[in-house]
Each structure stands twice: as C-alpha cells, then as structure tokens.
C-alpha cells in the first residue's frame, strides 16, 4: 500500500518498498521558550532555520506545529506553510489539535498534505475527516479514544479498524490515505511499552497493511543517551513494518539507523544510497 | 526456552527474558596474518590480549577458533581453552570445522560449553552430536546441508526441524541445548538477504521457540561503515527474536545497539543496566 503526498512541485511515496520516510520534527515550539516567544511576536525567522536544518539532515517531509500558548495559531500556521513552501519543496504534515488551525493550514497549502492527527473519538472523526476529504489530504490516525489509550495491541487494532471503517465508508477517504500511529510511549515509564508498540506495528501491518508513523523521540523520553535508544528503536520498528516517523533529521545517529534499515530491508537497491552517502561524508570530511 | 551454559565458576542463561548474549568473536586467526603466524609458533600471547579486550567490551561468552593453516589446531585449542579459563570466567563457544579439534577442546574445557557448529548433513550430525551429548554440551546448528544453503526461510525451518529431531530423538540432546544459526549473509552481495534472515528468525521463534545466534559481522561484509549496518541489523534481529550473536564486543556502536535493544524488549527492568552503563561512561569521561 502506497501513501502519496505532494508539495506544489514534488511527490513523495510512503510504504510499499519505498525508502523509509523521515518527517522532520523540529518546526514546533513545544518545550522551546525562545521560539514560542518569537511566535508570539509573529516572528517566523526560527522556522526558516529549522526548515533548512531538517532539509540538510535529510528530512523527506516536514511536520509543522505552531502550538504556542497565547498565539494566533491559525495565522501562524498559514504564515509558516507559506514560508516553508517558498523555501523548500518537501510535502508538509500539518500538526495541530485545533480544527480551525488545520483548516487554515490546508487552505494555504499547495499540494496534498498529511493532517496530524485524528483519534478514534467520534467527535474528532466528525470534525477532521470531512476536512481531510475536502482537501484531498491524507491523515494520521491515533488508535485511542475518549476513554483510553489502550496498552494492548489487539485493542489498538480494534480502534484502528473503527477509524478506517468510518473514514472509508462514511467519508470516502482511501485507506492508503490513512497513516496509523501505533502509539510509541516512553520506555522510561514502563519498560514493557516499547514491545507493545512493536507488537502493534506487526499486527497492523499483517491485519490491515496500512502505512504507519510515530513520534520516534517519545520512546527515549526521560532516559540518558536518547539518540542510541532512538536509533535502536527505529531499526526494530522498521524491521517490524514501520514506514515513516516524525523525528529529528539533524541527528546523524538516527539518520544512519534509518538508512541502514532501508539497506537491510531491501529498500536500497544494490546499496547505492548507502554507498553514495558514505562517499559524500568522506568528501565532506576535513 | 532457556539455554544454560557455564564455565567452572559462572553460569550463563540465554533466551527467555535474559539479556541478549554477546559472544565475543575476536579469538580467531581468520584474516589476521600476524596472529596466524604466532599460532604457528604456538604463541598464544595474542589470545590473552583479545580475551581481555572482549571482556572489557562486555562480552558474556567467548568464541574460540584456532583454525590457522599448517597448525596443530587441536593442540592450540587445548592451550587456548586452558589459557582463557585461567584468565576469565566466561563460558566458551568452541569453534572448529574439525571434529578432533572440538573433541580435544571439550576434553580440556571445564563447564558446559557451546559447540560451534553442526549442520543438517547426516555425516556431520553423526560425528558431532554424540560428542555434544557425551560432554553434556550445547551446540550451534546451521540449517544447511550438502546440497544447499537455502535462501527460503521455510526451507531453513525444515532443515532446522531435521536437526532438532535427530538431536533430540536419536541422541537425547535437550532442545534448549540446540542454538540455531538463522544464516546471516552479506547484504552487499544481494540486498534481499538480510530480510530472509530476519524472516527466518521470526519463523524459527514462532514455530520452535528455539534460541538463536548468528555471526553479526557477516551482514555488513564488503560494505562501508560496517558498524552502523551491524548496529541496525542487531536491533532488528533482536526485535524479531534473536537471543545471542557472535560479534566484536570492542565496538561501542554494536554494544550500544544491543543494550538499547535489551531496554526496548523489556529485558532491562527499570532501565537499570542502561542507566548504570551511562553513569559509568560519564564517570570514565575525562
């Protein structure tokens, strides 16, 4: 199954033998005080820096979240979408918990965007899916609802089925335009949580064949040497069937893990990308 | 299923929720001209250095191969076993293609060794399994025979079943004392080979539940930046169910991948080992 996204000039294919999709994650003021303050002043200069760094690191798509407190988030989303689309040709993932922000971002966006995100809550499904359909976008769906973030992979599969059923039957959204987040949780809180995520990935791929994405940094939250944990987790998750992740493309350790995983899962024919990247690093070395 | 090995003073448990078992791989003259020359002069001084380095790196067991051309390999194996057992308390994996070398090593060894290896060839099974049984040892088994190294996971499972049947029914060896090598092949030769190995791991774990080991360096053979490939492969393979590997414990990148994989597969309760290793590295830093 292939999820196709686009900017005004570039198409990106996720899943089905395509290289793992790195969705750059830094265009987000969460936990960044100075950036949040700049956004309150409608200063988007930091966005430009973050975009350039993610592009330089090898991001293939960018997640855009303008959720700073006391801001005109919709206005900032429109400004950020325009700025980013003038600066690079990567497709965007429009990330907000507020419907109006997603709507404004989709109106401003040129191409086929990924909407981040909907849950299995009836109210969210009713509000977000028509928007996704109207704009011909794709959507990230989280298998949790108002009552629970289920621990059991089987229950996550049930909630995923519900979302897929509603999106396809009620709203006519193609199943390949629904990207499921198997819910990556901090291993520091409970060391069994990463296994549940990996089991969910295997189960969702086997049962529905849908494409998947997750926030790769969640898993290592609160632990030391986070990049090493993230790199191992990404390799394991890609081995289990993960097809994309929202992650920091600036991290060579994470990017190396992803590219090695592409090579090892036969998504880098003849190892050409691996060898080319190695030669580029050699040429760049002092 | 738990495979228990021992030296004269230490027991090691593989599989079944125990930490991934790192079998140090350097005590082997293959591709090492100076070391092979020393062995021809019965000089085992390099063995001592290699043992110390693997132990310092975190090896939990050591693979011992004395296969240099024009040597008294049996005599060297006996000498190496005695030297290593006087120097450290790790269990050993006695590695040779020659029956007499394995027999001599087992005679000299104190504890329960792992014999590396037997194949599905009738002649090899008849020669090696009685030796394994007589010494109360465990054995690594490769699912290939005289006619083929099968590419298909299903065929590897068939040959594994044959080995397990013969070993348990004819020789009374416990199934937990049979460690299967799912055959890791160089991804540089054919980029689909690593996937076949990962599929074999999943299939063998689901079908037989046996413990597994493999030569982790094979996969990256001939490629640049081998440690990054090895680290990603180990994480993927551990995610799929691999329980041990013959690998170079001197590589921080490989060891990091293994310890992160332990954490992520719930084999490091509360992340205690991960955090302790981090603190030790901090304390050791200048």
Chain B residues close to A265, C-beta within 8 Å: 194-195, 198, 236
ipTM score of complex: 0.94
The answer to whether residue B278 neighbours chain A at the CB level (below 8 Å) is yes
Q: State pLDDT tens for residues B211-267.
A: 999 999 999 999 999 999 999 999 999 999 999 999 999 999 999 999 999 999 999
CA nearest neighbour of A115 among A83, A82, A137:
A137
The answer to whether residue A255 neighbours chain B at the CB level (below 8 Å) is no
CA nearest neighbour of B267 among B4, B22, B54:
B22
The answer to whether residue B252 neighbours chain A at the CB level (below 8 Å) is no
Give the number of beta-carbon pairs within 8 Å between A and B: 128
Q: Does the pLDDT value for residue B285 go beyond 90?
A: no
For residue A131, the distance in angstroms to the closest alpha carbon of chain B comes to 37
Angle at A186 between CA B205 and CA A97, to 5 degrees: 120
Q: How confident is the model at residue A285 (pLDDT cuts 50, 70, 90)?
A: confident
Contact at CB, B265 and A195, closer than 8 angstroms? yes
The answer to whether residue B285 neighbours chain A at the CB level (below 8 Å) is no
For residue A228, the distance in angstroms to the closest alpha carbon of chain B comes to 7
CA distance A20 to A258: 7
Provide the whole-model pTM.
0.95
Q: Where are the alpha helices (DSSP H) in B41-152?
A: 45-57, 73-87, 99-108, 122-134
Q: State pLDDT tens for residues B185-222.
A: 999 999 999 999 999 999 999 999 999 999 999 999 99
Chain B residues close to A260, C-beta within 8 Å: 228-229, 231-233
Contact A101/A68 with Cβ under 8 angstroms?
A: no
CA nearest neighbour of A71 among A100, A98, A42, A47:
A42
Average pLDDT over residues B47-54: 98
Nearest-CA residue of chain B relative to A256?
B228
Instruction: Record the tokens describing residue B179, joined without a space.
Output: 């460690």
Quick one: pLDDT at residue A23? 98
Is the peptide bond between A117 and the residue preceding it cis, with omega within 30 degrees of 0?
A: yes
Contact at CB, A191 and B228, closer than 8 angstroms? no
Contact B96/B57 with Cβ under 8 angstroms?
A: no
Query: DSSP strand E in chain B: where?
Result: 3-6, 11-14, 21-27, 61-64, 92-95, 114-119, 138-142, 178-180, 244-247
Chain A residues close to B271, C-beta within 8 Å: 187-188, 191, 223
Instruction: Record the tokens describing residue A177, joined without a space.
Output: 């335009």
Q: Which of B256, B261, B275 faces A236 most closely, judged by CB atoms? A: B261
Contact at CB, B236 and A198, closer than 8 angstroms? no
**Cβ neighbours around A251 below 10 Å, total:** 18
Q: Where are the domains of chain B?
A: 20-112
Chain A residues close to B275, C-beta within 8 Å: 223-224
Contact at CB, A265 and B188, closer than 8 angstroms? no
Tell me which architecture the domain covering A20-112 has in CATH. Answer: 3-Layer(aba) Sandwich (3.40)
Is the Cα torsion angle B207, B208, B213, B214 positive or negative in sign? negative
Q: Mean pLDDT check: name the lowest of A146-150, B45-49, B51-55, B220-224.
A: A146-150
The phi and psi torsions of B57 (rounded to 5 degrees) equal -75, -15
Contact at CB, A187 and B231, closer than 8 angstroms? no
């Amino acid at each position: 199954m292939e999820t196709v996204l686009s900017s005004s000039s570039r198409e990106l294919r996720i899943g089905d033998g395509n290289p793992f999709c790195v969705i750059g994650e830094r265009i987000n003021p969460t936990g960044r005080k100075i950036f949040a303050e700049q956004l309150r002043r409608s200063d988007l200069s930091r966005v430009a820096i973050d975009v350039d760094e993610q592009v330089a690191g090898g991001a293939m798509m960018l997640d855009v979240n303008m959720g700073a407190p006391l801001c005109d988030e919709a206005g900032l989303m429109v400004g950020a979408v325009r700025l980013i689309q003038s600066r690079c040709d990567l497709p965007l993932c429009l990330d907000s918990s507020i419907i109006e922000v997603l709507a404004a971002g989709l109106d401003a966006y040129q191409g086929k965007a990924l909407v981040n995100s909907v849950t299995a809550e009836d109210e969210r499904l009713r509000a977000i899916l028509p928007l996704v359909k109207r704009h011909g976008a794709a959507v990230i769906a989280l298998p949790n609802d108002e009552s629970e973030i289920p621990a059991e992979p089987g229950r996550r599969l049930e909630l995923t089925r519900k979302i897929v059923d509603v999106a396809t039957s009620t709203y006519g959204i193609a199943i390949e335009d629904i990207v499921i987040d198997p819910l990556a949780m901090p291993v520091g809180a409970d060391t069994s949580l990463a296994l549940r995520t990996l089991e969910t990935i295997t189960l969702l791929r086997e049962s529905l064949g849908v494409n998947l994405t997750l926030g790769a940094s969640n898993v290592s939250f609160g632990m030391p040497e986070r990049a090493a944990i993230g790199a191992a987790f990404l390799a394991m998750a890609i081995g289990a069937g993960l097809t994309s992740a929202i992650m920091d493309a600036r991290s060579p350790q994470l990017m190396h893990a992803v590219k090695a995983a592409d090579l090892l899962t036969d998504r880098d024919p003849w190892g050409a990308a691996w060898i080319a990247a190695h030669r580029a690093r050699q040429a760049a070395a002092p």
